[in-house]
Structure 1
Amino acid sequence: MQNQQNSQQMPQQQQPVMQQPPHVITTKDLSYINDMLAWNLLAMKKAHFFAEQCQDQPVKLEIEKCGQMHQRHYEMLLAHLQEKQQNNQMM
Structure 2
Amino acid sequence: ATDCNPGSSPNNNLQFIINLACLYLKMTLEEVINAITINAAHALGKADSVGSLEEGKKADIVIFDAPNYQYLPYRYGTNLVEKVIKNGKLVVGGEISV
TM-score by length of 1: 0.26
Whichever structure has more strand as a proportion of its residues is 2
Whichever structure has more helix as a proportion of its residues is 1
Which structure's relative contact order is higher, taking Cα pairs within 8 Å and 6+ residues apart? 1
TM-score by length of 2: 0.25
- Flag the structure with larger Rg: 1
